[in-house]
Chain A
């Protein structure tokens, strides 16, 4: 019997599962899940599955190697927002390949996330410095979507009523395509103007967007264009290249209100399109309008500075359809990498790299003009457009033969972008492809920046904070990364039982291929012949995901769950409009839904109508029928999550989907909780028309501390033509279907370099293993529910009193009896060595626990013991043993300093504070800060690195 990967992935073995089943009261895992999942939606195992029998870890890697070998890594000089870069090895090894960074969750619990919060505030500081603006967020999904968010922000913040947004003609083509598909859905009219060419602006516009430097490589001064739009009450958005900004005047200094872009070329491999961290920065006064996550400085209970996510109320889980954006997951791991690139190189290093790039471009310009060729523009940073009338294809082909990909602009024009990795040899080879001599006598020529106009040379400083001027030796860098990682709690320390987040194993074998050059070093617009291995992997993964969800076609383009949701809703919109149903714009959303649902619906041009839920947390069928009747003519869609956000398999789901279909609506099933269903039921079989999946939940892509995510959208055949396409896709066909909707991400396949993770997971589990994982996850959740039920009521259950893959522990009775809050329990869990479960979602005053299939019984028992012990502590407060204002719960979490420094004057002992269980003595995780003051941070907004003295 060969070794099965599923036995490594699933934490509980047969003996453990037998013990757990006995406690839950079922004979087999199958019997348990079949009792929990309503019988009407059970699915039989497929006779002709496209998913091959489980491969071993070795076999899966060998197959990935074979796929990688079908890709061809040429030197990319395509540019257009994606550039070659050297990932410093110290960052690759200590961040990208380090589970302390990549298995962490989004830093909602600041006390156990200080390390990555510091890394992210470094990122924000880097972005504000380079862009010359006041506040930056902790990453966007990519440059194209960041520009879209910039447009939406301009519309929110402008007082003008016009719906016109001006777009620079010299913007990246993928950005223009994204703007066009997203603007149409929300009623924005785009007007493209050749701004650098001096064309006149329309009379009124709520905003203007410029690319700086331009897509053509031209470096021009947009200050007067920005000023004239702002004079009329509009806002100015600039997409700026962070490396270029080391040498040229920042957009902030030129008058931009909003700067956006990507940090890819700061040490993050191209990866055939992603993932990378986009960025957004705004001038003072717009910070409350910023989409996405923002790290700020607050203070802890002892008055020490502490980082936290700030202004959380802008986010969808609070503001729902009034949220400033649907962006949720960011690109934390990649933002950390880019920030560390700046920390490692420092201002002098970044400037040197930028000058080398500009120098290489200048050298190439010299060679080409010496050879008699003309450049389209004579100002440039890294990109040259070269005129070769009628010969552009030939030049591109000759360069490809020499191992270099150039970009064909049109039949007469070729574009060349140099980057940090470009060598003198590359420059010579490119010049030769344009018809120059095969070899030249090149003496030393580095460092010229003559392509940059004098009036735009940067005078202002950047990266002046000590953090960018300290860790320049590799030893110092390694230790800084270790120091930060040590402050955080990730899956490499213990369970992260976050309900609705599915923090399962991210296996080392799954991670293995993402750094192979054949997957990491490809440009998203590389020729099809270079990326056949990738396209093969994507085809297979799309097919497998379609099969397990019961859909016909899948697009992997959305690079986060929120984007998958939006893509699905835009597909529904496209379908209705193609049928002439222009007025079908109402989207029904249950009150229990995740806030992102509502935010995405608004961005898809829909109007949200909330459907009530009953006391059990299920959709109220009577209210649903009433709302359907009320809006029948205008019904576009219903969005439901299955199993529900309450962690319950709703019994009536087929009745719900049927009612919507009968009224001509489409059913969107949110796949956030697919981990409770895989192998036992399929969205497409019980009435779903379209869904998004979260590969970073169900299919093992690590959370990365808050991104990357991948949110594929899966649909039935009738919606497939409306799934996201892309003007630069190597192929429009996806199996039997052509995806012809507008793009949803900057790159045609979103974030392909992490797809080998999910591919390897499915390949090594096989259909049988996937089903076993579901069973183990459902068993673990039900076991916890049974064990903790007598201590904390379990709020919702479905058929046979069972929960799905997560359970909600109701802490409101505890608060009533003892005054102990959800926060107290969550922070006390830190003292016990745990990451808290999800707090107050979907119900205020509760904890939602999702153990996943990957935790073993020992860890599950450790969690149960901790919860029972904490309940005992709470009871001691209730009975008066400890005062309500001085007990280990209200003061949790406890730092080492807090129990060592000064006299101990509390009603409980030091041991009770930090070693409530003896087993903690050898394994203790020490939080670096006490409980963080949320209100202080929101009232005193500081979103850049504080001076080092602040920590003394």
Chain B
């Protein structure tokens, strides 16, 4: 499990773990809690190109459908097949085994949030 305080966040409740030019993306525990029991995850294909801000996947629970927004421009280097096979990982370990995609990017957006800023946003 990643250290939440060192990650970057988006207002769409995604977390970003940045390692060189590759970013690992997942949804936050707050988002997972709000969604409830996740039952289906649809992720973009490896090698597909993403445009920042567009919907590239879905996280579906028994009562709602969350959208996965691309946080950066880039191309998908890896998609977490384990979470496709067992969507409950998003609930049980959102910052760890419940990660969703890895994306190779050229530039990070300027409006990413720190843990403190994100916590303030969701009122924790």
Name the residue of chain A whose CB is nearest to the CB of B36. A935
Q: Residues 27-39 of chain B: 1 if any A CB is under 8 Å from the residue's CB, otherwise 0?
A: 0000000001101
Q: Which of A293-337 contact B (CB under 8 A)?
A: 312-313, 318-319, 322
Closest chain-B Cβ to A251's Cβ sits at a distance in Å of 27
Q: Residues 61-76 of chain B: 1 if any A CB is under 8 Å from the residue's CB, otherwise 0?
A: 1111100000000000
Name the residue of chain B whose CB is nearest to the CB of A288. B40
Q: Which of A899-952 contact B (CB under 8 A)?
A: 934-935, 938-939
| Complex partner residue of B40 from A318, A934, A938, CB under 8 angstroms | A938
Q: Are A318 and B39 in contact (CB under 8 A)?
A: no
Q: Are B65 and A935 in contact (CB under 8 A)?
A: no
Name the residue of chain B whose CB is nearest to the CB of A938. B39
CA A935 to CA B87, docked complex, whole Å: 10
Name the residue of chain A whose CB is nearest to the CB of B39. A938
Of B60, B62, B65, most buried by chain A (CB within 10 Å of CB) is: B62
CA A319 to CA B61, docked complex, whole Å: 12
Q: Are A313 and B87 in contact (CB under 8 A)?
A: no
- Which residues from chain A contact B61 at a C-beta distance below 8 Å? 313, 935
Q: Are B88 and A313 in contact (CB under 8 A)?
A: no
CA A786 to CA B64, docked complex, whole Å: 33
| Complex partner residue of B64 from A318, A934, A935, CB under 8 angstroms | A318
Q: 19 A-B Cβ contacts within 8 A?
A: A312-B63, A313-B60, A313-B61, A313-B62, A313-B63, A313-B64, A318-B63, A934-B37, A934-B62, A935-B39, A935-B61, A935-B88, A938-B37, A938-B39, A938-B40, A938-B60, A938-B62, A939-B87, A939-B88
CA A891 to CA B64, docked complex, whole Å: 24
- Which residues from chain B contact A938 at a C-beta distance below 8 Å? 37, 39-40, 60, 62
Closest chain-B Cβ to A375's Cβ sits at a distance in Å of 50
- Which residues from chain A contact B36 at a C-beta distance below 8 Å? 935
Chain A interface mostly helix, strand, loop or mixed? helix
- Which residues from chain A contact B87 at a C-beta distance below 8 Å? 939
Give the A-binding residues of B (Cβ under 8 A): 36-37, 39-40, 60-65, 87-88
Q: Are A935 and B40 in contact (CB under 8 A)?
A: no
Closest chain-B Cβ to A368's Cβ sits at a distance in Å of 55
Given contacts A313-B60, A938-B39, contact A319 B88 (CB under 8 A): no
Q: Are B37 and A313 in contact (CB under 8 A)?
A: no
Q: Are B62 and A312 in contact (CB under 8 A)?
A: yes
| Complex partner residue of B62 from A319, A322, A935, CB under 8 angstroms | A935
Q: Which of A40-85 contact B (CB under 8 A)?
A: none
CA A313 to CA B88, docked complex, whole Å: 16
- Which residues from chain B contact A935 at a C-beta distance below 8 Å? 36-37, 39, 61-62, 88
| Complex partner residue of A319 from B37, B40, B65, CB under 8 angstroms | B65
- Which residues from chain A contact B39 at a C-beta distance below 8 Å? 935, 938-939
Of A318, A319, A935, most buried by chain B (CB within 10 Å of CB) is: A935
CA A934 to CA B63, docked complex, whole Å: 9
Given contacts A934-B37, A935-B37, contact A318 B65 (CB under 8 A): yes
Name the residue of chain B whose CB is nearest to the CB of A323. B65
- Which residues from chain B contact A322 at a C-beta distance below 8 Å? 65
- Which residues from chain B contact A312 at a C-beta distance below 8 Å? 62-63
A313-B60, A313-B62 provided; 14 other pairs, C-beta below 8 A? A312-B63, A313-B63, A313-B65, A318-B63, A318-B65, A319-B65, A322-B65, A934-B37, A934-B63, A935-B61, A935-B88, A938-B37, A938-B62, A939-B39
Name the residue of chain B whose CB is nearest to the CB of A322. B65
- Which residues from chain A contact B65 at a C-beta distance below 8 Å? 313, 318-319, 322
CA A938 to CA B88, docked complex, whole Å: 11
CA A939 to CA B61, docked complex, whole Å: 10
Name the residue of chain B whose CB is nearest to the CB of A935. B37
- Which residues from chain A contact B64 at a C-beta distance below 8 Å? 313, 318
CA A318 to CA B35, docked complex, whole Å: 12
CA A934 to CA B37, docked complex, whole Å: 9
- Which residues from chain A contact B63 at a C-beta distance below 8 Å? 312-313, 318, 934
Closest chain-A Cβ to B109's Cβ sits at a distance in Å of 25
Closest chain-A Cβ to B89's Cβ sits at a distance in Å of 11
- Which residues from chain B contact A319 at a C-beta distance below 8 Å? 65
Q: 3 closest Cβ contacts across the A-B interface?
A: A935-B37, A938-B39, A934-B62
Closest chain-A Cβ to B98's Cβ sits at a distance in Å of 14
Closest chain-A Cβ to B108's Cβ sits at a distance in Å of 29
CA A935 to CA B86, docked complex, whole Å: 12
Closest chain-A Cβ to B15's Cβ sits at a distance in Å of 23
CA A318 to CA B61, docked complex, whole Å: 11
Closest chain-B Cβ to A529's Cβ sits at a distance in Å of 52
CA A313 to CA B62, docked complex, whole Å: 7
- Which residues from chain B contact A939 at a C-beta distance below 8 Å? 39-40, 87-88
Closest chain-A Cβ to B41's Cβ sits at a distance in Å of 11
